Amino acid sequence: MTPKAATTPATARRGIQSIEVGGCLLKALVASEQAMGLKDLANAAGMPSAKAHAYLVSLGKLGLVTQEPDSGRYALGAFALQMGLSALHQLDPIKLAIPAAAELADRLRVNIAIAVWGNMGPTVVHIEEYSSQIHVNMRPGTVMTPLLLTATGQCFAAFLPERITQQWLLGEIGKASQGTQGTLHVTRKQAKHVLEEVRTQGLSRAMGHPIPGIHALSAPVFQHNGHIALALTAMGPATDFDAQWDGPTADHLRQCAAQLSASLGYNG
């Protein structure tokens, strides 16, 4: 009996070179975001014009590339659009975020919550716990309100369209909410300052509220259309948690959220 040949890493990685060459032209068109002439497109893809033209003919037959009749410039075709839309529809933001949250929790040694906007407001759908020693009374289904007093709530309040959050915020401003220092009141001026700071920093922050002794930072993850898909919230004991805007926790949280946003097609 003839033994099977072992699969080497080189064999496993071997692909079709012509497809990869054609892919360089498609990447150049995506990066350009506008129609390109043959010479410029060939230069961007790193190949002679004659070679690029031959590939463009085949890509055109597939509908991946189209040529403008007047200028002769090339642009992405209808099938490229269909592929992009299909890829976006297949993406599940929460499914993408769960392994990223687990890796982030291990790296930062904090708990990471994933929240989405639900009928009752910002709702936790998944929690990655780094340590059972972090006693946080939170579980999937927890609604993070008031918006202005929680890191997760501030994140959605800052990045959701105003038409969605306006009634929520009007219901909170000037009214009493229970915090770690007793009853808290948020004025309209304070609310405006908080949300402006969140947008400037790209993060929201809560120091000891609504959970006493727990600090939190929350970062938005955006969809391809610029709408917030979910919030990643890091939380931990105030004695150990680095809540500085420019600290390593904030930096890693921003990076993770940005990578997830890119995976969902956001290029802002």
Contacts for 265 with CB less than 8 Å, ≥ 6 apart: 84, 87, 88, 91, 223, 224
pTM, two decimal places? 0.68
Residue 180 lies in a domain: yes
Query: What's 173's DSSP letter?
Result: T
Q: What is the CATH number of the domain that holds 175?
A: 3.30.450.40
Q: Are residues 100 and 69 in the same domain?
A: no
Q: What is the CATH number of the domain that holds 46?
A: 1.10.10.10
Q: How many residues does the chain have?
A: 268
**CA 233 to chain CA centroid, nearest Å:** 13
Domain boundary among 38, 64, 89: 89
Region 108-124: mean pLDDT is 91
Indicate the pLDDT class of residue 115, thresholds 50, 70 and 90.
very high
DSSP letters, 38-81, are HHHHHHHHTS-HHHHHHHHHHHHHTTSEEE-TTT--EEE-HHHH
3 or 151, greater pLDDT: 151
Query: Could you read off the pLDDT of 47-67 as tens digits, one per residue?
Result: 999 998 998 898 888 888 999
Q: Are residues 75 and 142 in the same domain?
A: no
Q: Are residues 85 and 200 in the same domain?
A: no
Range of the domain at 79: 9-89
Q: Are residues 83 and 137 in the same domain?
A: no
Residue 70 lies in a domain: yes
Domain boundary among 73, 89, 105: 89
Indicate the pLDDT class of residue 105, thresholds 50, 70 and 90.
very high
Residue 4 lies in a domain: no
Query: In sequence order, which ranges of 181-240 are alpha helices (DSSP H)?
Result: 188-201
Q: Are residues 182 and 118 in the same domain?
A: yes
